[in-house]
A = this chain, B = another copy of it.
Amino acid sequence: MAGRGRGRPRDSGISERALAAARELLVQRGFDATTIQAVAERAGVHASALYRRWPSRIELIEEATFPGLSPQAVHPTGNLRDDLLRFVRAYTEAFSQPAARASAVGLLAHHQTSRRTHPPELYLRISARPQFQDILSAAPPGSVDPDLDANDAFTMLLSAVLAHTLLANTATQHLTPECIVEMTLRILRPSWPGPL
């Protein structure tokens, strides 16, 4: 809170400056060029200050590009279709930011080769499963199959959002947020005849 004053740039947090510098570098120079040293130079801080905050550039880039969804984007109203649409739109928008687009493939490549250390953290970062669960909990009775594992439905939604973002203009150009929501609603609906 105390560091938020606009008039005194030196007081603004080192972390915030580093995260902003990382986003700029990703967009302007790409994933490979976004090193700790380059971020430090652009942010005007010592590299050692960044290493105190992040173990490597990977964690810094992940925090810079996948900050999570804003609370108002996911606060459920009880209208399942509307809530899911706001959720998927916010999700797609977050993944479509220039810095996120510039880092996504690099992060995937990194995690494919050093799989053991980081992926769970990245997954927690890109996963909005608790918010999805909140939306389902607020839905009217009978609109969500109680026998369904919400986890499975969420992962289908996440896969569609990722594919829509990573494969934009190709495989998934028709996989709009509206379409993802319709498919998710089909997954969620109770079986016929219902199990109850």
Contacts and interface: CB of A to CB of B under 8 A. Distances in A.
Contacts of A186: 148, 186-187, 189
Given A105-B109, A162-B163, A169 B126 contact: no
A155 B182 contact: no
Contacts of A169: 115, 119
Interface residues of A, number: 44
A86 interface: no
A174 B151 contact: yes
Residue in A105, A111, A162, A174 with the greatest tally of chain B CB atoms within 10 Å: A105
A115 B167 CA distance: 10
Given A108-B105, A162-B163, A187-B187, A171 B152 contact: no
Interface string A95-128: 0000001000110110110010001101100110
Residue in A108, A126, A159, A174 with the greatest tally of chain B CB atoms within 10 Å: A159
Interface string A153-196: 10110111011101111111011000100110011011110000
Contacts of A158: 163, 171-172
Nearest to A159: B163
A66 to B, nearest CB: 12
A109 B106 CA distance: 8
Interface of A: 101, 105-106, 108-109, 111-112, 115, 119-120, 122-123, 126-127, 148, 151-153, 155-156, 158-160, 162-164, 166-172, 174-175, 179, 182-183, 186-187, 189-192
10 contacts: A105-B108, A115-B170, A151-B174, A155-B174, A156-B183, A158-B172, A183-B187, A186-B186, A186-B187, A190-B192
10 interchain residue pairs of minimum CB distance: A192-B192, A159-B163, A119-B170, A159-B159, A105-B109, A159-B160, A186-B187, A123-B170, A123-B171, A156-B183
